[in-house]
A and B are shown apart, each in its own frame.
Chain A
C-alpha cells in the first residue's frame, strides 16, 4: 500500500545521535475520534497533538487530511520516592488512555508505575471582562472610583488549553502498573500491575476493587506475572489479562467478585523443538489488544504476533512472524537486554490489518486477509514529508536485493515499541525513541 509520510518531531536535541533519556516516548494513544493524539515520555510529560480540521481553506483537496500539531504539553508525573521501601518511583508514563468524550472537555488517564491520574483537558477561548471591583490586570479597584455597575461579559481571547488533574488514584498498587483500560460502561477502569488487577470508579479515588490477584502465598512459588490487561470493548463485564507464560485469561466479573478463576484460558502448547534457555522469555506476552469487533484478541510475544478467536482457546487462529531471524540470536539479545523489550501491537480500524514494532526503526504490518506482511521504516533520513514509505527487507538468505538489510547490521538500540492506529482512518503514530512519526495512507488513484 502506498503511504504518504508526514514527519512530526518533538525532539529538541541538537545532536542527532544524542537522545535525552527523558525525551524517550513511552506511550502513544489516539482518542476515540482520532482528533487528539497523546504521547507520554520517560520524563513524565504528556504531549497532546491535535489534528487540524479539514475545513480550513478551499484549496484543500477532498480527502486531504489535516496535520497533527502540538495542542498541549504538561507534566503528568514527577519522580517520587517510596519511603517505606527506599525505592525510587519512576515518573515514566507507562500508559495513557482517553476517556470517551462526554462534553467539551477531554479526559485522559495517565499512569506511571504506581499512580494513575485523571486529567481534564479543556479549552478556553473566552475570558470575562468588565469586572466592577477589579481592573483588567486584576488589581482591586478603589471603590470610590466606581461610579456605575456593569455586568462582566465574555470576550474572545487567544485559545488557551488548560490541563488540570481531576483525580489522583494512588496507593492502589504494590507492584509496577503495566496497563490501564477504560471500561465500556464509561464509569470504571482497570489498572494492572505484575500480580494484581484493580478496578476503579472514575469518581472514587480512595478505594479500588481488586479483581485479580495472582500473588502466591509464598513468593518463592511465583512462576508468572501479569503483563497486560484490557477490558472488552463492548461487554463491560469481560476483561482479558496476559501472563509472562504466554497465556491469556478471559474473566467474567459476573462470575465472582475475585476473578482469580478465569472463564477461559487461551494458551498454545509449546513447540518442544524450539526449546532453549530463553523459551520462557520469548513466550511472555508483552501486549494484548481486543479487536474493535470484540471477537478477536491480538497478542505480541517476542518473535510473533498472534490473533486469537475468543471462541477457541486451544491456540491462536493466526500467527505472524515478526522477526524470526532473531531466534538464533537469543543469547546475544539476552545479554544486551533486548530480549526483555516489550513491543506493543495494534489493530487497524476494520481489524483487517495488524501492526507491531521491531528493531532498526522497522515496524511490521500484516494483512490478515492475505497473510502477508510488510516491513516499513520509521527513520527520519528516509522519510521526507509526503514521501512514500518504501518497504524494507531483512536479508536472511537467498538472493540479496539492493536495500536489503543484513541481520547483523540491525541496530538494536532503535526499537519501535509503542504505536497507535487511528480509530477510523489509516493514520498511524509510531514512536521511535524520542521521535514521533505520523504516517497517513493517502488513497490516490495514481498509486493504486
Chain B
C-alpha cells in the first residue's frame, strides 16, 4: 500500500514537471521529458500493480529488453487466451467486465481480457499513422470506440490475437505497463466503448479524489497536448469524454486523472 502512495506521488510530480516544461525557456527539453515520462510510466505501473504485484513488477523490469507479451506475463498468457473468446463481442462483454471490475477479486480476470484487447488496439493503432498510440492499456480500450476503428474490426482483431505474443511488437519498448494497467483498462473499456456512464463504484473517497483530479486534468490535458508527439504511453488519439462518466473505485483514485489524459485532441505538436 505504501508504494502505491509513493507511486501516486511520483506520478503527480512527474506530471507537474511535464507541465512546467511547457513554460520553460528554451523550449521543451526532449531528454528530460523522456526521462520524466519513463518515471511516470513506471510509477503508474507500480500503482496499478497491486493485485498482481509480484509477477507484474517482475514483468515491468524485464520489459526493457523489448520482450514478447508472453514473456512479460507468463502467468497471464494462458488466462488471456482463455478469455479470448468471451471477449469477442466486446460491447457485450462490457457490462460483464464492469460487474467484474467492481469486485476486486475478479479484477484480475477482467484485466486479462483487457490485456489482449489493448493489444489489438495497439495493432489497430499502428496501422493508422496519425493515431497516437497510448501504450498504457488504460487508454487502449478507449480506442476501441475511436472513430477510426469500428467495433467489428476490434472483434476481428481479437480473434486474430489469440496469442498475445504475436501482437503489437512494433512498438515494444514503450510497453512498460501493459499488464499492470489491466485494471484500469477495464475501467476504460467500459466508459470508452459505449460512452455510457460508468457505474459508480466508489465511495465518497473516490469522489473527492476525482474532483480534485478533474481540476488538474484540464491543465494536464493541455500540457500533454503541447508536450506533443511525446512518448508512447502518454498520448492517445481519443476524442473527449465527458468527465462525469469516469468513475473509479476508491482504490484507484489516480486512474481518474490519468484516464482523463486521454481526451486530448489529436493535434500533436510536431516536436
How far apart sit A90 and B26, CA to CA, in the bound complex (Å)?
5
Give B42's nearest chain A residue, CB to CB.
Answer: A277
Decide if the interface of chain A is mainly helix, strand, loop or mixed: loop
CB atoms of A280 and B27 under 8 A apart: no
CB atoms of A270 and B64 under 8 A apart: yes
CB atoms of A220 and B13 under 8 A apart: no
Find chain B residues with CB under 8 A from A331 CB: 6, 10
> A442 CB to closest chain B CB, in angstroms?
40
Find chain B residues with CB under 8 A from A16 CB: none
**Stretch of B33-41, B89-97, B110-118, B210-218 on the interface side:** B33-41
CB atoms of A277 and B10 under 8 A apart: yes
How far apart sit A227 and B30, CA to CA, in the bound complex (Å)?
11
How far apart sit A175 and B46, CA to CA, in the bound complex (Å)?
32
CB atoms of B43 and A277 under 8 A apart: yes
CB atoms of A85 and B31 under 8 A apart: no
CB atoms of A221 and B30 under 8 A apart: no
CB atoms of A220 and B235 under 8 A apart: yes
**Binary interface profile of B, 233-271, with partner A (CB < 8 Å = 1, else 0)?**
111000000000000000000000000000000000101
Find chain B residues with CB under 8 A from A244 CB: 31, 34-35
Find chain B residues with CB under 8 A from A89 CB: 26-27
Find chain A residues with CB under 8 A from B26 CB: 87-90, 92, 113, 176
Q: A90-B26, A225-B31, A280-B35 are in contact. Are A220 and B230 (CB under 8 A)?
A: yes
Find chain A residues with CB under 8 A from B29 CB: 176
Interface positions, chain A 143-193, Cβ under 8 Å from B, are: 175-176, 178
Answer yes or no: A412 CB below 8 A from chain B CBs.
no
Answer yes or no: A446 CB below 8 A from chain B CBs.
no
How far apart sit A87 and B26, CA to CA, in the bound complex (Å)?
7
Residue of B25, B39, B174, B235 near A334 (CB, 8 A) is B39
Answer yes or no: A71 CB below 8 A from chain B CBs.
no
Find chain B residues with CB under 8 A from A90 CB: 25-26
Answer yes or no: A281 CB below 8 A from chain B CBs.
yes
Find chain A residues with CB under 8 A from B31 CB: 176, 178, 194, 225, 227, 244, 284
> A340 CB to closest chain B CB, in angstroms?
5
CB atoms of B133 and A222 under 8 A apart: no
Q: A194-B30, A225-B30, A334-B10 are in contact. Are A220 and B229 (CB under 8 A)?
A: yes
Answer yes or no: A403 CB below 8 A from chain B CBs.
no
Find chain A residues with CB under 8 A from B235 CB: 220
Answer yes or no: A28 CB below 8 A from chain B CBs.
no
Residue of A221, A224, A270, A335 near B171 (CB, 8 A) is A221
Which of B38, B232, B235: most chain A CB closer than 10 A? B38
CB atoms of A281 and B231 under 8 A apart: no
Give A279's nearest chain B residue, CB to CB.
Answer: B42
How far apart sit A270 and B138, CA to CA, in the bound complex (Å)?
28
> B1 CB to closest chain A CB, in angstroms?
17
Interface positions, chain B 181-232, Cβ under 8 Å from A, are: 228-232
Interface positions, chain A 204-254, Cβ under 8 Å from B, are: 218-225, 227, 244
CB atoms of B34 and A222 under 8 A apart: yes
Instruction: Give the interface size class of chain B.
Output: 35 or more
Answer yes or no: B148 CB below 8 A from chain A CBs.
no
Answer yes or no: B61 CB below 8 A from chain A CBs.
yes
> A174 CB to closest chain B CB, in angstroms?
8
Q: A270-B64, A277-B39 are in contact. Are A220 and B27 (CB under 8 A)?
A: no
Q: A225-B31, A244-B34 are in contact. Are A88 and B25 (CB under 8 A)?
A: yes
Q: A113-B26, A194-B30, A277-B43 are in contact. Are A272 and B6 (CB under 8 A)?
A: no
Interface positions, chain B 13-72, Cβ under 8 Å from A, are: 13, 17, 25-32, 34-35, 38-39, 42-43, 46, 61, 64
Interface positions, chain A 298-352, Cβ under 8 Å from B, are: 331, 334-335, 337, 340
How far apart sit A270 and B60, CA to CA, in the bound complex (Å)?
13
How far apart sit A409 and B230, CA to CA, in the bound complex (Å)?
37
Answer yes or no: A372 CB below 8 A from chain B CBs.
no
Give B13's nearest chain A residue, CB to CB.
Answer: A335
Q: A82-B27, A88-B25 are in contact. Are A219 and B39 (CB under 8 A)?
A: no
Give A227's nearest chain B residue, CB to CB.
Answer: B31
Answer yes or no: B144 CB below 8 A from chain A CBs.
no
CB atoms of B61 and A275 under 8 A apart: yes
Give A277's nearest chain B residue, CB to CB.
Answer: B42
Find chain B residues with CB under 8 A from A280 CB: 35, 38-39, 42
Find chain B residues with CB under 8 A from A225 CB: 30-31, 34
Find chain A residues with CB under 8 A from B80 CB: none
Find chain B residues with CB under 8 A from A218 CB: 129, 133, 171
Answer yes or no: B75 CB below 8 A from chain A CBs.
no
Answer yes or no: A278 CB below 8 A from chain B CBs.
yes
How far apart sit A194 and B31, CA to CA, in the bound complex (Å)?
7
Answer yes or no: A93 CB below 8 A from chain B CBs.
no
CB atoms of B13 and A334 under 8 A apart: yes
Answer yes or no: B107 CB below 8 A from chain A CBs.
no
> A247 CB to closest chain B CB, in angstroms?
12
How far apart sit A375 and B43, CA to CA, in the bound complex (Å)?
34
Find chain B residues with CB under 8 A from A221 CB: 171, 173-174, 232
Residue contacts A-B, CB under 8 angstroms, 6 given? A219-B228, A220-B233, A223-B174, A225-B34, A275-B61, A280-B35
List A residues at the B interface (Cβ < 8 Å): 82, 85, 87-90, 92, 113, 175-176, 178, 194-195, 218-225, 227, 244, 270, 272, 275, 277-278, 280-281, 284, 331, 334-335, 337, 340
Extra inter-chain contacts (18) besides given A220-B135, A280-B38, CB under 8 Å: A85-B269, A88-B26, A176-B27, A218-B133, A219-B228, A219-B231, A220-B132, A220-B235, A223-B231, A224-B34, A225-B34, A244-B31, A277-B43, A281-B38, A281-B39, A284-B35, A331-B6, A335-B13
A-B CB proximity, top 5 nearest:
A219-B229, A90-B26, A87-B27, A220-B232, A223-B173
